[in-house]
Amino acid sequence: MTDSTQQPSEATKMPTDTGAVRLAKVYAQAIVEAADRKHCRADVLAELGSIVRDVLRKVPAATAVFASPRVTPEEKGAMIDKICGGKVLPTTLHSLHVLARHGRLGMLSEVVSAAELLADELDGRRQAIFTTAVPLEKQEQDRIVAETGKALNASLAPTFIVNPAVLGGLVVRVEDTVYDHSVATSLARLGDRLKQRSIHEIQYRRDRLGTA
């Protein structure tokens, strides 16, 4: 899905430690398989992702407790029940308790990233990062994703990032794919449109300042 906050998704933030990556993938696969058996994969991943983004990122104390070896699995389990009990699916709650029992709750973010990547792979989606010079409305995001997907003949899992330093207006990275000339040309046209919009916005600000 398109990230309307225009920040890197969890899927783009995998750890660099190869051992941690492998371990995260093991737990991620177990979670995805358990959710698939209950036909609730999308909901479980959405709930786990929300815990990472809306709880752990905003409550550093919770992150510290999840990762602390001084806090027992039982205490972490009680904290999970307090935060999530009755608010998430049983499969989501069970996944959190499994991580707590095995002392892996501190790597929940990495596990969620791995699970989202696995889900995209199973659904035939390719990770795509769109970096634009200016923020885009959802309609513009959808159009760019559709045109890029058509050019690549692929289904994409997009993440949008804003970076004013992008000279061409648009930079697209789809995994490690090397694009052929036709795709590059198509993306260049999209970039030109965004670059022109950026120029117009800069000129508009200058005109306003001049008037003031």
Domains of the chain: 10-120 (1.10.520.20), 124-211 (no CATH)
Q: Which pLDDT score is estimated for 33?
A: 97
Residues 6+ apart with CB under 8 A from 180: none
pLDDT along the chain (212 residues), means of 10: 41 58 94 97 96 88 90 94 92 97 94 94 89 87 89 88 79 68 55 64 61 57
Q: Write the DSSP assignment of 15-76 as a string of letters.
A: -S-HHHHHHHHHHHHHHHHHHHHTT-HHHHHHHHHHIIIIIITT-HHHHHHHH-TTS-HHHH
Q: Which pLDDT score is estimated for 133?
A: 83
Helix then strand then coil, % of the chain, to nearest 5 = 65, 10, 25
Q: Which pLDDT score is estimated for 20?
A: 83
Q: How much is the pTM?
A: 0.66
Q: Which pLDDT score is estimated for 182?
A: 41
128 contacts 172 by C-beta, under 8 angstroms: yes
Q: Which pLDDT score is estimated for 192?
A: 66
